[in-house]
Structure 1
Amino acid sequence: MVNFYEKNNLAPAADHFYFNTLDNQQEISNGKNYSTISEHRHSFWSRHVFCGGPAAGVFFIWAATIAWAAYFLLGADREAAINTIINGIFGVFMAWVTALLLLKIDPEISLGVEITTALIVAGAVIVLCLSANLPQFAIIPVGVLGYSSTFAYLLQTPDKLNQEVLLGASLNNPLLVISISFILGSVFGHLSNQLAGKLSSIPSPLVRKR
């Protein structure tokens, strides 16, 4: 499956920087295979820390913590959890639609791929903002967080920005994995807030009663 970059003769900047850095390490090391060590270290941190440890592939810790933070910013109550989930998933959905539209761009389009891409993204952001007229989607910042998290995943992870992934039923699909991450982040935020409330009610042995 040809992805967005190959189709439009573009290079993902993050991957380009990463692999060039590895090449430089290998040249500087005078034959010592530091690049292999770097790859293993990168793979370990990606799988076991940032992608959810034992739950790697089911949700991403980095996306969950974004939702976790949004929950506290919205007031850290039940309504905040619901708003974080609904608006976050709406942002994910808008990014998913945007990605599908980007894949439809003809490389020979008269406006150019870059300008057409900018117009599609701008249109999606306008829809995201106008949807705030509906009470359910009124928390624009959380929608933007969901939108940004989705493209962070698509643009930083090799071979994800293609129709096979976006229309698939697997957890490679950002519509699923980022949405799950936002749901879990909101739930974890709510549970951590409840736990903090219970712990704060326990009398401290360091405080003397008067």
Structure 2
Amino acid sequence: MILAFVLSSAYSSLEDITYNNIQADIKKNILSSLGFTPSNEDPWTTEKVEQIFNESIVSFVINKSGNVIPDKLPEDLDPKVDTDLYPLYKKIVDGQVDGFAIPISGKGLWGSMYGYFSIEPDGATAKGITFYKHIETPGLGAEVDKPWFQQNFVGKRFIDKEGNLIGIQTVKGKVDNSSDEAYHQVDGITGATMTSRGLNKFLLKDLKYYNSYFEQIRKSIKS
């Protein structure tokens, strides 16, 4: 009995540690997508990530109509039940909104990819993108992890001139900056066509879930 209790307690503690590490990594990716960066002088320990997140990020939940759900937080959501509710993270700097982050996920070449896509306060421009889990091929699709690829998204618009949601397209090769479509295109990854196609598809899919919320922001800026 004693051995069983000890083993059970050890397993429970291990589960807690694993869960906390996963949550810390997710928060780290949310922060990274929103422009926070660690430094050699001030590295991101688990405690530091928690501190920055609590001080700078407001977490909330919206429905498909873009309305905020009171007294509901992202950690309260059950993905099997709350299929029409979506977590959203807002970055606050000196009392002002400095961006939003949304979770993104979908199929790459070999399996599901998970990350965060951040949006400028205008509700139309990419602020950043990160990935925290995938099984894409090293040197090919796994390049989605690399700064050179993620930096491509910064400043790109996912709304066209008429106000329609069009997403951001990863193209084959380099973006033709003289093209009328360059404002919503990023350089592709050599040899990773299926990963790029998957990213294009699921990024647009996830942006659609949040479009009603950001549409309200875009309209308020115009008025």
Q: TM-score, normalised by structure 2?
A: 0.29
Q: TM-score, normalised by structure 1?
A: 0.30
Larger radius of gyration between Structure 1 and Structure 2: 1
Q: Which has the higher helix share?
A: 1
